[in-house]
Structure 1
């Protein structure tokens, strides 16, 4: 009898806590500053015409896209090298196969997500992947990432990106995304943010 009462009490307490959590989530409680809150936002990302219809990755999301691709390239190279520690350099055909597998990936785990009112890509290697929320994937997002990947490979070359991996390891992202020209998707985004912040201060 005592055990039955304790079990019933536990069930009622769990139901009460679940109700409180769900009510808070539905009201759209904000995540913590580092985006690590377990509260789920049910807000669907609001897409403009560029987000919805353009064949190209929107400028504001190119940095996230580059970081996803850099992470995937690094992960695949690192896995092979760990399985063959004696091999210092991969043969050319394996390097080509890796880039082909990345650039032709279906990117099923990638999509756009609303995080505190800001549209961000969510995908492998991004902190946004761990933030609870509604991700809008499919559509044109996979083809945009494929196009970005092909652009990096076409402009820089498979061998050069592979050499960058060998030299920088996990810092391949910095090489691919924080440089100049085709390698500056994150650099240009940071410059734009700084300009907007400066303009806002001047208008105050």
Structure 2
């Protein structure tokens, strides 16, 4: 198993002038056994993973629609069933290498495109590769099976938030389950 480390640097702090530079340091997140070796996405990262999958599906569909030259009667670019089915399959089979895990405020979070919510630390280390791409691909394929391409494309036509609400919300959604765990811990 190959894990990559990506050091994300913020700006140097210069509180007193040119000679007073603050020293910045960061360590890689300390992954537990489940986070290192499980074939499945750990429960505490499923909401982030779901949001990443929803973003990638939405992004792939939007790019495919932008390539169309003939709008429908409402002026929108609409993919045929075979086109959006193919695009959604490709969105799940991508390499997912831009995603990884890092620690933010003593909490491990999945990071990557579409997940930039909340305060960003000035410096952090992100662990990519390893099990994360396979886990995201599996989750993506599971959502395709659970909801189907037609329902996902209908949500896409309503916007990115609708895709995220479909996949991650609802009674059994990954983000609602995370909210329930957080409330129980309080």
TMscore range, shorter length:
0.7 to 0.9
2:86 to 97, 109, 114: 97
**Aligned residues between the structures:** 162
1:173 to 164, 178, 183: 164
Deviations 1:54-105 (CA, angstroms, capped at 9, x unpaired): 0000000000000001111111222232343614531122112211221111
State the distance in 1 between where 2:179 and 2:152 align. Answer: 23
Deviations 1:14-67 (CA, angstroms, capped at 9, x unpaired): 5x35xx13x1x13xxxxxxxxxxxxxxx12111111101100000000000000
**1:86 equivalenced with 2:71 (yes/no):** yes
- Which residue number corresponds to residue 113 of structure 2? 124
- Which residue number corresponds to residue 8 of structure 1? none
1:135 to 118, 123, 126: 126
State the distance in 2 between where 1:191 and 1:49 align. Answer: 24
Aligned 8 A contact 1:120 1:128 in 2: no
**1:188 equivalenced with 2:173 (yes/no):** no
2:145 to 140, 144, 154: 154
Structure ID, larger Rg: 1
- Which residue number corresponds to residue 61 of structure 1? 45
State the distance in 2 between where 1:79 and 1:106 align. Answer: 17
Measure how far apart 1:155 and its partner are.
Answer: 1.0
Measure how far apart 1:128 and its partner are.
Answer: 6.0
Aligned 8 A contact 2:101 2:128 in 1: yes
More relative contact order, 1 or 2 (CA 8 Å, 6+ apart)? 2
Question: Which structure is higher in strand share?
Answer: 2
TM value normalised by structure 2:
0.80
Name the SS for the 1:81 alignment partner. Answer: helix
Runs of 4+ in 1 over 2 A off after TM superposition: 79-85, 128-132
Structure 2 residue runs without a partner (length 5+) = 1-16
State the distance in 1 between where 2:50 and 2:87 align. Answer: 16
State the distance in 2 between where 1:155 and 1:114 align. Answer: 31
